[in-house]
Structure 1
Amino acid sequence: MGKRLAGKVAFITGGSSGIGEATAHRFAQEGAHVFICGRREAPLAAVAEAVRARGGQCDYVVADVGVEGQIAGAIESARAKAGRLDIVVNNAMAYSWGAIADTELDAWRSNFTTTVDGTFFGTRSALRIFREQGSAGAIVNIASICGLFGTAWMAGYSAAKAAVINFSRAAASEGAASGVRVNVVVPGVVETPATAGMLSDDKTRAGTERLIPMKRVGRPEELANAILFLASDDASYVTGAVLSVDGGRAADLVTALE
């Protein structure tokens, strides 16, 4: 077991499954006291129990990241319980499908409440706590390849994830002088509950993999490793970076060659 995060306290939103769950396990393996956050208690409790069963430290807080008071209170309660805060990973997201011409305003805005507002609330809370502690800190925000390229029938989600990327750059500029680093991880297609539909059968999975230069979808653990790097002191001179972890999808214009 490594100790790159020994003595660190980390707060991860969207921690009940997928990338957030894998990151909780990875951080705990590296010595962090991890707090995970989400809207449903049962899966959060299951993840926390699994982390502890492997010898890690993990607690959970039930909160909706799109509700300012809930997420700010959750992060503050974690800081109060652990005595400090060092890392925040804003991973929670929500999305809707639909053609732009048929999208109602509420459906459009639903993409932003969790993804953009939640990232803003989490980042702002972290910056305030780091300032009060007089400490450096690391914030890792999770975007999506949809935030780099237009995606049909996912205009709201694409716009929200693009906002996360440029918001993070602004936050990196503000935090740099006080030692606060803000970076972005951009997943491609990763095998999580959110992508279960597009990977539900051999035909759709093969079609998806054909578009990826490495010819396979990613694993949550591979994203967790990238998040760990940016959260750790190994990335002590990295801020404002946007790191694609996508099997080469964003690098390749011609993606369907066999």
Structure 2
Amino acid sequence: MANYLLIAASSDIGGATARRLRDGGHHVITTARDASVIDPDVVLDATDFDAVDRVVAEAGDLDGIAVFAGSMLLKPAHLISRAQYDETIAASLTTSFAVVRAAGKHLRNGGSVVLSSSAVALAGLSNHDAIAAAKAGVIGLALSAAASYASHGLRVNAVAPGLVQTRLTEGLTSSDMSRKVSEAMHPLGRLGEPEDIARAVEFLLDPANDWITGQVLGVDGGLGALRPRQRV
């Protein structure tokens, strides 16, 4: 049995991951910013470096930490206020940095950190400017941290999902027209489900896969890397 900490587990992907890990017999500690969606083990503002540090320290001997924090802001840069920008960066990048910082201090016997990036950090998509900036930062963080902590056996990887059907993305998937447009952007012709990403996170957390670090796993239906011929 492994011991895992899931940050921002109130997200649909975080919830799916928690269920998979618990079904596998593992001990899972969940955090959320508030208890309005789930009943987390710990209420945590994961942008607070000191609070994250305390939670990781008090969690005991962890085998891995996964971060699911993020936001949805679909606007071009010139329509984004400084407050909106700061919130978007904080939700994804600051949270990820706080977790890596704490893991580097406390997971001295190795383990796995899995961060959440996005396919939009790898493929230029209009009106994703702030999200792409934040999620590209997460990729850079994962690569650098993987190098920094490799000598301690601490692995750092990231998942980069495409568009996943969650509460956060309902605005893009609720109408037939927007859904069809979104599906057409993914070469495999469908949107993701939370379980698709949860399986990838579970794989990267697993101590059996301890020769994998510094990787960005695109779980995106091909969105981030492929440009196939259009269906006719």
Q: Residue 94 of structure 1 aligns to which amino acid in structure 2?
A: S
Of 44, 61, 64, which residue of structure 2 is paired with 1:87?
Answer: 64
Corresponding residue for 1:136? 110
Distance, in Å, in 2 between the alignment partners of 1:26 and 1:187 is 18
Change (3 A) 1:176 1:162: same
2:8–2:14: 8 Å Cα contact kept in structure 1?
Answer: yes
Q: Calculate percent identity across the aligned residue pairs.
A: 30
More helix by share: 1
Q: Residue 35 of structure 1 corresponds to which residue in structure 2?
A: 29
Contact 1:97/1:154 (<8 A) preserved: yes
> Runs ≥4 in structure 1, deviation > 4 angstroms?
none
- String of CA shifts for 1:179-232, please: whole Å, max 9, x gaps: 111111110111111111100022211111112121111111111111111111
Distance 1:231 1:203, change over 3 A: same
**Partners of 1:42 and 1:220 in 2: how far apart?**
20
- The amino acid that maps onto 1:243 is L
Structure 1 residue 74, shift from structure 2 partner: 2.7
Q: Which has the higher contact order (CA 8 A, sep 6+)?
A: 2
Three-state SS of the structure 2 residue aligned to 1:198 is helix
The answer (yes or no) to whether the contact 1:39–1:64 under 8 Å persists in 2 is: yes
* Contact kept in structure 2, 1:12 and 1:36, CA below 8 Å: yes
Q: Return the offset for 1:246.
A: 0.8
How far apart are the structure 1 equivalents of 2:190 and 2:79? 33
After TM superposition, list the pairs within 5 Å mapping 1:140-179 onto structure 2.
140-179=114-153
Does 2:12 match 1:15?
A: no
Among candidates 79, 103, 127, match of residue 80 of structure 2: 103
CA distance in 2, matches of 1:211, 1:219: 16
Counterpart CA distance in 1 for 2:97 and 2:119 is 20
Going from structure 1 to structure 2, the CA distance change for 1:33 and 1:99 (only over 3 Å counts) comes to: same
Question: Normalized against structure 2, the TM-score is what?
Answer: 0.94
Aligned partner of 1:60 in structure 2 is 41
Alignment length, in residue pairs? 232
Give the one of 107, 112, 115 matched to 2:92: 115
Give the letter aligned to residue 4 of structure 2: A
CA RMSD in angstroms comes to 1.5
- Asked whether the 8 Å contact 1:214–1:247 carries over to 2, the reply is yes
**d(CA) in 2 for partners of 1:192 and 1:122?**
24
User: 1:76 & 1:87 partners in 2: Cα distance?
Assistant: 13
- TM-score of the aligned structures, taking structure 1 as reference length: 0.85
Relative to structure 1, the CA distance from residue 73 to residue 252 in structure 2 (aligned partners, 3 Å threshold; closer, same or farther) is same
2:55 aligns to what? Answer: 74
